[in-house]
Amino acid sequence: MRLIGRVLHFTVSVSLLFLVALPLANLTAITGLAAGIVLVLGVAAVVLVGRPTWVRVRTPDDVHGGALAGRVAPAFVRWDRAWPQYFAAQVLLDAQALARCVWLITRQLWARPRQWARAHRVRFWWPFYLPVLAVQVGATLGVVAGVLGAGLVTAGVSIVVWLVGILVVLLLRGMDAGWQFALGARASCRNCHQLAAVPAYRCQGPHPLSHRLADTDLHRDLRPGRLGVLWRRCGCGVLLPTTVLRAAFSRRLQACCPSCGEPLLPGAGVVTDVRLPVFGAASAGKTQLIMSALAGLELAAKQAGVEVSLADEHSRQRHETYSRLMREGASPAKTEASGQPVAITLRLARGPRVALVHLFDAAGENLVDREQNARLAYLDHARSLIYVLDPFSVRRVREEFASGAPEIFAAANPASHDPEDAYNATAQRLQEYGVRTDRKRLALVVSKADLLKKMSAGPKNSAGVRAWLRDNGLSNLVLSAERDFREVRFYLVSGRDSGPDGGFGPANWILGREWSELD
């Protein structure tokens, strides 16, 4: 009877296999293949659109903490707290989440039917398990095909996006750099006097106090890149422009100094930045020259139809003081050696062309002292400098006129330092700090012309001033200046004259080289 039963079971099983199981297996295999592909597409849609909790997201905090691969230039310190561009970071995390999810589902697809079959002793009716096996195999092949297809599509799209993105990034960065080069635009800090091509920008969005205190609302490198090509989304959710040109005029951003974090003037980094640092010995007439230059620039700008204004409150207060002294014919107070260099900023606008003109004044004691002038960083970044020489400190002038005109020498209050020593202290300091003075220009100004002309007729032009210096024993100074600097122009000025014979002359010459002359 057992033999008959086994034969009967075998006959029925074979019949079921060929008549039912195999035809059904073909159908279920195709169904499983389609289901596997649909599964991959469905999971991909959930990962991309639904953002379930099991998908890891690269957040602004991750980026700020250094989770984004790649090196950050030392000037920018660290990654900014912003959302990374999708194809720069999140695409890999999404691909990993997709692969992990379909792997877990596929593993369950194989484990669950096998466990059920064992529990219900389906071995006796084994032909009926063949369609289930076909579903498993078909679904697995569908998942593999779907994952490979999704991977190829993702890789292809990523490559195209990266190639196009790199080209756009280079184009936008090149536009920024080209604009700044053409206009001589830089971000100049009034507090620490550092100069930067790329300002830092403080987001004006809804940041908590902790972010403000920790400076995580500060974007140090807003240029196009992996945090955004055309736009960047700050960690607070605000959309920010990515180029210096666009950021300069955005109400969502406040330009700040990358070094000290202090706010910069409007237009910093995109308008012409002209620095006029004045150096020389104490009592050489530097502050008087700046007063004269400021008055002359303001007067000439108005006559030329150029819009002129003071850039900040500090400049306005200093301008009021200098204007009063010029009207009264009084001398300014001695610049404090212990204080910070004085900076006054004018904003000049001729149509669309705008310039920020910074006039720097520091105590002569700091300029001639090699240790003290090491902290005067504003000298390093200027394209042009003004050296003020007191003619009454020249030995030959003192020997020839001091005894015959004591009242003039008393009024002149001559500088105590030798003119060559005063020049060399600053010129050598610049060269020791790696500053290419041979790429800069120098206005060598002989001051106190109003007093000098009381004793003798002064020279009329640059060549005449140069000859006067050589005739009075300063040939080495002239040769040193012409050797150290790319271009040297000589002036004889009176700090009490607001016209061309005052500080306006050298200031306007430099302005013409870096922006536009006013006369």
For residue 17, pLDDT over 50 is answered with: no
Question: What is the C-alpha to C-alpha distance for residues 355 and 313, in angstroms, rounded to an integer?
Answer: 18
Query: Phi and psi of 101, rounded to 5°?
Result: -65, -50
**pLDDT tens string 466-515:** 999 999 999 999 999 999 999 999 999 998 888 888 899 999 999 999 99
Tokens linked to 458: 């002064």
Helix axes 475-484, 462-471, angle to 10 degrees: 130
Nearest in space to 362 (alpha carbons), one of 473, 239, 487, 275: 275
User: Sheet harboring 253-256: ordered strands across?
Assistant: 218-219, 200-203, 253-256
- The pLDDT mean for the chain works out to 83
Question: What is the C-alpha to C-alpha distance for residues 256 and 192, in angstroms, rounded to an integer?
Answer: 12
Enumerate domains of the chain plus CATH numbers.
11-180 (no CATH), 187-256 (no CATH), 272-514 (3.40.50.300)
Neighbours of 400 (CB within 10 A): 14
Question: What is the C-alpha to C-alpha distance for residues 475 and 471, in angstroms, rounded to an integer?
Answer: 8
Nearest in space to 280 (alpha carbons), one of 173, 214, 363, 400: 363
pLDDT of res. 113: 65
C-alpha dist (Å) from residue 323 to 264, 318, 505: 25, 9, 18
Average pLDDT over residues 323-344: 75
Rounding to the nearest 10 degrees, give the CA dihedral for residues 14, 15, 16, 21.
80
> pLDDT over 90 for what percent of the chain?
40
Strand ranges inside 199-249, DSSP E: 200-203, 218-219, 231-233, 239-241
User: For residues 477 and 469, is the Cβ–Cβ distance under 8 A?
Assistant: yes
Weakest mean pLDDT among 49-63, 125-139, 246-260: 125-139
Q: 67-71, 73-77, 304-308, 430-434: which has the highest mean pLDDT?
A: 304-308
Average pLDDT over residues 284-310: 91
Weakest mean pLDDT among 1-10, 59-68, 154-163, 252-261: 1-10
pLDDT band for position 9 (50/70/90)? very low
Q: 79-83, 317-321, 410-414, 480-484: which has the highest mean pLDDT?
A: 480-484
Helix axes 90-119, 129-183, angle to 10 degrees: 170
* pTM, 2 dp: 0.81
**CA angle (457, 462, 465) in 5-degree steps:** 40
| Radius of gyration for the alpha carbons in the chain, expressed in angstroms and rounded | 38
**pLDDT tens string 344-398:** 999 999 988 999 999 988 766 666 666 666 667 788 889 999 999 999 888 888 8
pLDDT of res. 243: 93
Question: What is the C-alpha to C-alpha distance for residues 502 and 185, in angstroms, rounded to an integer?
Answer: 27
Long-range pairs for 109-114 at CB < 8 Å and ≥24 separation?
Answer: 109/136, 109/139, 109/140, 110/136, 110/140
Tokens linked to 413: 């209050």
For residue 27, pLDDT over 90 is answered with: no
Q: Which helix (H) or strand (E) holds 328?
A: helix 313-328
